Amino acid sequence: FTGGNYTLYSLPKDARIGTSSLRRKYQLKSERPDIDIVNVRGNVTTRLDKVDKELDGVILAAAGIKRLGLKPGVPLEIDTVIPAPGQGVIAIETRNNDEYMQALVKGIDHGATRLCSETERTFLRALGADCNFPAAAHAFIVGGDIILHGMIGDIDRPYLMVKKTIRGRDTSLGRVLAEKLLVELEKS
């Protein structure tokens, strides 16, 4: 979050916050229903310029800020704004029949990251979601267990969303969480 000296929780009522992510909009409104979420597009510099002119703050990916060597903003906790499934993961795709290339990239495979990414993607597939659906998932491993944070929003009832965290041992955790959240959202 970048917005002068504010944090998400110290922003004044009716503050204008910029983001282009539907997933972030739902989560921000859940935390601060009194703020105005404004759709912003453009590169990082363009978005930051809007903070000086027309917005009180903007939500940007920390990796992009760091990569550009810009002054970091105030980080949002992962359980406040859960990222998109697979966010931050670097993947390499090879041809099915290219054993040499497959052996080469196997040496740089990070099993824990792959397991987490596959769990997040299983969550997304179970929802049948695309980039126009408010869904978020973040998996990490603790003591051999996968911890999965997930969120879905109701596209027909703006800013109504449900979040949950569950723990398990394999990628089917993504499907289990998706099913639990869909049931919860239906009850809301």
Picking from 175, 75, 163, the residue whose alpha carbon sits closest to that of residue 119 is: 175
The pLDDT value recorded for residue 43 is: 85
pLDDT exceeding 90 applies to what percent of the chain? 64
Asked if pLDDT for residue 4 goes beyond 90, the answer is: no
Report the predicted TM-score, pTM, of the whole model to 2 decimal places. Answer: 0.86
Q: Which of 27, 54, 81 is the last residue of a domain?
A: 81
The CATH number given to whatever domain includes residue 107 is 3.30.160.40
> Considering the domain boundaries, does residue 93 fall inside one?
no
> Considering the domain boundaries, does residue 86 fall inside one?
no
> Considering the domain boundaries, does residue 89 fall inside one?
no
- Top pLDDT among 64 and 118 is at 118
Is residue 73 domain-shared with residue 120, that is, in the same domain?
A: no
Asked if pLDDT for residue 2 goes beyond 70, the answer is: no
Range(s) of the domain holding residue 41:
1-81
pLDDT in tens, 75-97: 888 889 999 999 889 889 999 99
Question: Pseudo-torsion of CA 59, 62, 66, 69, nearest 10°?
Answer: 10
Asked if pLDDT for residue 167 goes beyond 90, the answer is: yes
pLDDT in tens, 19-63: 989 999 999 999 999 999 999 988 888 888 888 788 988 998 887
> Considering the domain boundaries, does residue 90 fall inside one?
no
